[in-house]
Chain A
Amino acid sequence: MWDTFIVIPMTNLLLLIYDLIGHNFGVAIILFTIVVRAITWPLTAQQLKGTQGMQELQQDKEWLGIQKKYKNDKEKLAQEQMRIYKERGINPFGSCLPTLIQFPVIIGLYQAIIRSLAATPLSLLNLSRSLYPILDVSKIIPLNSTFGWMDLGRPESIDLFGFALPTLAIIVVITSYIQSKLMTPPSNPGDQSAAMGNMMSIYMPFLMGYFAMTFASGLALYFITSNLLGIAQYAMMGRANWSNIIPGQKK
């Protein structure tokens, strides 16, 4: 099921793009990411809207009132919250959906990259079973996994004075941090949810950086492209909060 609907279509799309653009797997991953971002564009827009709406609620008098009034009656509080969500047209789970979509994409893409590059006999055998008949890819296998200085099927690093510097992972951390900060709306001091959001914007980039450092560098390339496209999208929608980027700066 997972293979049929996620990994195999992704593998074939990657191979199709690879074949069309002149056998460059790095560019194929970048174009693939653009396609994924284009498909999930409405969801990302919804996420931004949801985050903004939730943030505004935190300062709303009625919202704060019901929190105080029903603090000992969880059921009633939930009912009142749902009423306000409905009245204001806010979907409390809307901001989670794009995040939810991202995970199968990341896992599927990782598997598609490893399967497409087929660095081992078993993976090459698996790849032979993953190809749609309409694609004549027997001539392009094995794929050229080199992109710049990287082997996209392996974790990336650059030797610097005898130290293996994971440059892609560092770029992933920076771009993930910028992206998460840009989408965080301005907040008031003492706002607990904003504090949690700030913690997330520190924690998540390092987690993504860890993935980028540990797994195939093709995945890191996806992260970086996706982050840059996300930043561009927020900027184009006029939602980017540039003052958030520098830690400690007054908002």
Chain B
Amino acid sequence: MKSKTIFVLMMALLLSFLLSGCSASAMRTNSWSGLNADADNAYLANGSFVYAVSLKNGTQVWRYPADKADTKEAYFANPVLTDDGQVLVASAGTGHSLASLNPANGNMNWIFTDAKGVWLGSPIVLDEIIYAPNTDGKIYALDLNGAFLWAKAIGGALWSQPVSDGELLYVTSLDHHVYAFSPRTKEVLWDLDLYGATPGAAALDADGNLYVGSFGASVTAVNAGTQKILWNSPIEGWVWDAPVLDGETLYVGDLEGNFHAFNTADGSEKWTAIKPNGPITGSPLVMDDFIVIGTESGTAYAIDREGAIVWNYPVGGRLYTAPAQAGDMILFSPMETDTILVALDLDGRQVWQFTPSE
């Protein structure tokens, strides 16, 4: 009986250890980096810290917080650069913070912590108002000084950055819907069921057509004016991030590893989808001569407009984050490696890489 008791106690301790390990691990790595760049720096939201990295040589300019990590914060949404010179960073941690940083030195201008949920999607700035989507299903409106203006419930959990035609915000939600929201009247004007969760943003063209990919394994085009579905093209895998427009072509990758090019007019495929070497989560990056994607297998691909691979480069790690353009460089933020930012030139050669000092 005594040995059984010791055995059970030991197992209980082991269970405690394993469960603690599960939750700690879940807290540590619950998403992948957010990335943006201006003319001088790349801004990388990478878990506990946001880094500003010089585009010249890949060295750290600053990091936020400068000293010790705040265990309540985890930065994963793409940092947003505002016209008045702020870097907005949103946290998916329990601190629920949305902060404004000075791009020159990383000092905090202001911080907003009153949202109920966490921030996974980036805010959008329209007419000097910040509209921030939250996982609590609300859009929070703040002025550029961080003062709270109002919050409005949209529906479901909002994981992606809204897009706007200058008047309305179009917001995708995990509740399978895309919403048209008027920030002026604070009303949802219409919504449409996409029959699948939509963690990525919509793409909006000049004619007011929205293009959305979903977990319903399809890409849908909707006319925002008439709220009519123009076409719906089924694909093999779930779509994670926003499709990207390039004239009359729409590029999108899926979790089965396929890369598609659709005609925006009717949803037909311009060429047979190509299948590089792994699932594609991040949005494609449209450049002058080619389109760039990253795969979960850690390879960067440049693909021409006919669907032929121009070059590929093994960045390493897992490329979940959408690539970003910085002048004549392409930035990738690999996950599960010590190096968290890699810059490639237009020929697919590495220019520099950034590994945080600690």
Contact = CB atoms under 8 A, between A and B. Distances in A.
Nearest to B12: A207
Given A193-B1, A215-B23, A121 B16 contact: no
A197 B157 contact: no
A229 B216 CA distance: 38
A121 B19 CA distance: 21
A110 interface: yes
Interface string A87-110: 000000001100110010011001
A136 to B, nearest CB: 10
Contacts of B216: 138-139
A64 B72 CA distance: 58
Interface in B1-49: 1-2, 4-5, 7-9, 11-12, 14-16, 18-19, 22-23, 26, 29-32
Contacts of B255: 125, 128
B120 interface: yes
Nearest to A95: B4
B26 A123 contact: yes
Contact of B31 (A122, A128, A196): A122
Nearest to B238: A128
A114 B18 CA distance: 14
B195 interface: yes
Interface residues of A, number: 37
A123 B25 CA distance: 11
A207 B197 CA distance: 38
B1 A54 contact: yes
A100 B197 contact: no
Chain B's interface size range is: 35 or more
B217 interface: yes
B76 interface: yes
Given A107-B15, A128-B255, A138-B216, A121 B5 contact: no
B82 to A, nearest CB: 24
Interface string B202-246: 000000000000011100000000000000000000101000000
A121 B159 contact: yes
A200 B31 CA distance: 40
Nearest to B76: A121
Nearest to A144: B175
A138 B238 contact: yes
Nearest to A55: B1
A120 B19 contact: no
Contacts of B92: 120
A18 to B, nearest CB: 15
B196 interface: yes
B5 A196 contact: yes
A121 B120 contact: yes
A139 to B, nearest CB: 6
Nearest to B26: A114
Interface in A118-140: 119-125, 128, 138-139
B264 interface: no
A139 B255 CA distance: 16
B97 interface: no
B215 A103 contact: no
Nearest to B117: A119
A142 interface: yes
A141 interface: yes
A204 interface: yes
Given A100-B11, A214-B23, 5 more contacts: A141-B197, A193-B1, A193-B2, A200-B9, A204-B8
Interface of B: 1-2, 4-5, 7-9, 11-12, 14-16, 18-19, 22-23, 26, 29-32, 76, 92, 120, 135, 156-157, 159, 174-176, 195-197, 199, 215-217, 238, 240, 255, 281, 320
Interface of A: 54, 58, 95-96, 99-100, 103, 106-107, 110-111, 114, 119-125, 128, 138-139, 141-142, 192-193, 196-197, 199-200, 203-204, 207, 210-211, 214-215
